Amino acid sequence: MLHFDFYEKKLGPNATLHFFETAHRSDPLATLFMNEFNVVETCSDVNSTVDAYISSLRELRSGGVSLDGIGLEGHFTVPNPPLMRAILDKLATLGLPIWLTEVDISNTLDKATQAVYLEQVLREGFSHPYVNGIMLWTALHPNGCYRMCLTDNNFQNLPAGDVVDKLLKEWRTEELEGVTDEHGSYSFFGFLGEYKISVGYETRTASSTFSLSQGEETRHFSIQL
């Protein structure tokens, strides 16, 4: 989107605009993202500064495109967490969900260092309120790993895989048990997601489900015995 203009040269200056229009016309419910690399990874790429990203997105919007999300590829060598946070904060002012779409760490680094840097990037992304999802770029080929892999060819964890397993376990609410107070209330802190709740009193029991989604206020859920 910011680095190349192949389609604009071949099809005209509004080629990208037409792509988004066609996609929206084909499926009005599709979530349309603008996706680019080197926006959140570095500040040394003049083609893809955060300001250039915002300018391009606004240009598409002014052309009538309905953009629903921000895609940041995330091909890191040595991450800069404060820079990453500042860029995410600036993009968050647009009020759109942000996805890290192709996170990896350069294979110019050894596997142990890859894992250390991967954890830094994942923690920074996961902790930001506007980052709604993270996808890893971990292509595995019979001839070897493209850039960063979670396992070897025998599917045994590499250090990066250990990091992902550790964080998946850490970022999950374990099974909780407790007793309500005198008002029949029970409180807990949990990660966003789907929950199943069961309540028992003497011989009576009740079960239900609820979603814990993003919001500034405490989520209240009532279940009747």
β-strands 33-36, 69-72 pairing: parallel
Query: Which residues neighbour 5 within 8 Å (Cβ) at sequence distance 6 or greater?
Result: none
Buried b or exposed e, range 67-98, using 16+ CB within 10 angstroms? bebbbbbbbbeebbeeebeebbeebbebebbb
In contact, 172 and 187? CB cutoff 8 Å? no
**What values do phi and psi take at 151, rounded to 5?**
-135, 165
Q: Quick one: 109 and 125 in the same domain?
A: yes
The reply to whether 153 falls in a domain is yes
pTM (2 d.p.): 0.87
Q: Quick one: 126 and 145 in the same domain?
A: yes
For 137, what's the count of Cα atoms within 13 Å in the CB-facing half-sphere?
A: 17
C-alpha 13/C-alpha 4 separation (Å) is 12
pLDDT per residue as tens, the chain (225 positions) = 889 899 999 999 999 999 999 999 999 999 999 999 999 999 888 888 999 999 999 999 898 888 899 999 999 999 999 999 999 999 999 999 999 999 999 999 999 999 999 999 999 999 999 999 999 999 888 777 889 999 998 899 999 999 999 999 999 998 999 999 999 999 999 998 899 999 999 999 999 999 988 887 888 999 988
The reply to whether 1 falls in a domain is no
Domain count, the chain: 2
